A and B are shown apart, each in its own frame.
Chain A
């Protein structure tokens, strides 16, 4: 099938390009007329917000990198120079630092949305797994980025986290040496972290692309969790969702701007304004807030290897979630038990975050262990068992059915109340 693409674009220049490289046709198909369920709520804004956030991180990051000095002797001072002497350097740095926090807030909400509405279930398993891969990449990127200003938390956070790999039997120590580029966290470590911190966001772009390709194969899920039945259930993406995403973006930017301009260090840790010092250990070494739940899981068992395994399992388990969930119904709206399980799960994650931010002493040790236990209980026991036992509420016939003005009157008996077949 060799030959030019037939394009209906009128503008001769764009038509010339489009017949040879149909990117305009593709954009029109995937973002212009793309049929999108008409019943999204505002939780469906967060994917687009994540995309915007990724772009903001890359743009501010590139300009920061122009003024950053990746050496143990110069890193801290170069960041201060950015804050003081580079034109709008303070804006670049505060946007980038708070942008990382915003990114995790957005993506965590995006993920809880997927959990609540069953977006990870067939046919979107791979889409979900690609999402988890994005989360892992984001975590690696954020971790290495936090090392770059070379403050006390940078240094000691890097030391603690890289040391975790030494728990791996046999090869652990070699892996750590490789990560460090030597025998302690030092100049070579900082250099390779900078290189990787610059690289990984572009890998994320690639994986996000796959994420979206997969999304456009299955189409989006929706708050009812039922499949699109006809064109009555959908709207063209543009202008309906472009304008809704735009409104969501304004609100997101409002929150973002309030942090950047009025409380730029609120989410940070004061110790990172002390230059790194290998001879002085801070009293409490804590990671950034978005890692705290995982940090709590890591510390919930007294064995280092055990903690590391648990921590990685807590994310690995998300990869197999589509097969752990036995319920045929997607949306928690129709799952009377699961919806409360979701509430409990969110509370559990908040609790884990609380524990991760405190020294492991007294009652917090027990709270940490219990909430870790509940985290795994949720996925390994409750999700599979409740999926089987629960009696889902009757599902609506279609997305447009319950809201069509003419849709009043009784539905054909036995039609509306049928739960989705298990597949």
Chain B
């Protein structure tokens, strides 16, 4: 019944062949991430260093509106550390006298944005808008590989390429002209844990952090998934045996 099998395969292909929407225009180097694969978890030390980079560098321009300070527990920070981090920002509120005032940040607050609104951001950034980073890892084709490539992909423009005003050449950015100047370089931060801050290291760490904030549920999801799949595999085996048993008296 070769035709039947062919038809089945082709029918499945209708589902999957068409799925990955586009081939990347520029080939992205494939990186090894601790969070790859069904058993992957976040490298907590890398994610913490990544948070340091976000806090010291990226958060000067990029907001991260969906994330709360309390979410930092997911990368292994203690309650006391989170409280202290949250307390470094001032959050606008209404005082007892009904007048606008400010209070210290709490773990239950969202990450504070660098700019009050989009116009302020554009005004400060030469007309460009630094996108919110809460889900940026999921919002780009290539995900973590793309972000890592972007952060390490700054070079001088090839001869003959005319750069726009205030634009920077990047191998991996679509169109190659990006308004963000290279945010990272060797020694851009001093890591608290003593890790040597090379460009690659910084890019890898901040990408891990961005992957975490985009998928805070990932570790629980994969852990649950393993259990569900094991359970279903066993149930399939069992049901198959029962099916054989039930059908054993039928000629078919």
Contact = CB atoms under 8 A, between A and B. Distances in A.
A339 B236 contact: no
Nearest to A106: B15
B131 A274 contact: yes
Nearest to B220: A90
B80 interface: no
Contacts of B252: 38-39, 403
A38 B185 CA distance: 70
A116 B7 contact: yes
Interface stretch (B51-59, B138-146, B161-169, B203-211): B138-146
A164 B225 CA distance: 41
Interface stretch (B17-25, B94-102, B190-198): B17-25
B3 A253 contact: no
A357 B225 contact: no
A258 B17 CA distance: 17
A405 B250 CA distance: 11
Contacts of B3: 332, 339-340, 342-343
A273 B131 CA distance: 12
Interface string B29-51: 00000000010000000000000
Nearest to B136: A273
A337 to B, nearest CB: 12
Contacts of B233: 254
B159 interface: no
Nearest to B25: A283
Classify chain A: how many residues form its interface, as a range: 35 or more
A398 interface: no
B134 A262 contact: no
Contacts of A105: 12, 14-15
A67 to B, nearest CB: 15
B224 A284 contact: no
Contacts of A405: 251
B235 A250 contact: yes
B7 A343 contact: yes
A403 B247 contact: no
B21 A284 contact: yes
B206 to A, nearest CB: 18
A80 B71 CA distance: 14
Contacts of A250: 232, 235-236, 239
A227 interface: no
Interface stretch (A127-135, A311-319, A347-355): A347-355
B242 interface: yes
A379 interface: no
Interface stretch (A53-61, A167-175, A241-249): A241-249
Nearest to B39: A262
Given A247-B240, A257-B232, A353 B18 contact: yes
A415 to B, nearest CB: 20
A273 B18 CA distance: 20
A254 B232 contact: yes
Interface in A65-107: 77, 80-81, 83-84, 90-91, 94, 101, 104-105
Nearest to B143: A270
Interface in B1-17: 3-4, 6-8, 10-15, 17
A105 B14 CA distance: 8
A243 B18 contact: no
B221 interface: yes
Contact of A270 (B71, B139, B217, B229): B139
7 residue pairs, one from A and one from B, having the closest CB atoms: A261-B225, A353-B18, A273-B139, A250-B236, A346-B10, A90-B217, A247-B239
Interface of A: 38-39, 41, 43, 77, 80-81, 83-84, 90-91, 94, 101, 104-105, 108-109, 112, 116, 235, 239-240, 243-244, 246-247, 250-251, 253-254, 257-258, 260-262, 264-267, 269-271, 273-275, 283-284, 286, 289-290, 292-293, 332, 339-340, 342-343, 346-347, 349-350, 353-354, 356-358, 400, 403-405
15 contacts: A38-B250, A38-B252, A80-B135, A243-B246, A247-B236, A250-B239, A254-B229, A261-B38, A261-B224, A261-B229, A262-B222, A289-B18, A343-B7, A343-B10, A405-B251
